[in-house]
């Protein structure tokens, strides 16, 4: 059974991540389960660098985005409407 935490992240969720995330969240960004992520980390084959903090693994969001091939954050239409982002027409 898959709960909400194991579903892949949406683009909006990816672009709203904090500076670093736990391994489970990074795994969701790649569309993999947590168990697979831990196996890849153990084999030094996770798609991006992980940092061990105590007994947990963290991933810097900038490294996660780079591994996903995302070089810049897109502007969403509702952000423009809310005044959060500037448009080319301002």
Going from N- to C-terminal start, the domains of the chain cover 4-69
**What's the whole-model pTM score?**
0.74
pLDDT band at 83 (very low <50, low <70, confident <90, very high): low
**If you ran DSSP here, which 8-state letter would residue 53 be given?**
E
pLDDT digits (tens, 9 = 90+) for 21-53: 999 999 999 999 999 999 999 999 999 999 999
Provide the CA 90 distance to its chain's centre, in angstroms: 30
Task: Kindly list the strands in the beta sheet with 56-60, ordered across the sheet, starting from the edge strand earlier in the chain.
Answer: 20-22, 56-60, 51-53
């Amino acid at each position: 059974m898959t709960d909400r935490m194991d579903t892949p992240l949406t683009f909006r969720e990816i672009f709203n991540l904090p500076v670093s995330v736990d391994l489970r969240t990074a795994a969701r960004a790649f569309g993999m389960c947590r168990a697979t992520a831990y196996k890849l980390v153990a084999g030094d084959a996770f798609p991006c660098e992980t940092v061990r903090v105590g007994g947990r693994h963290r991933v810097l969001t900038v490294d996660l985005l780079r591994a996903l091939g995302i070089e810049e954050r897109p502007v969403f239409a509702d952000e423009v409407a809310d005044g959060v982002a500037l448009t080319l027409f301002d």
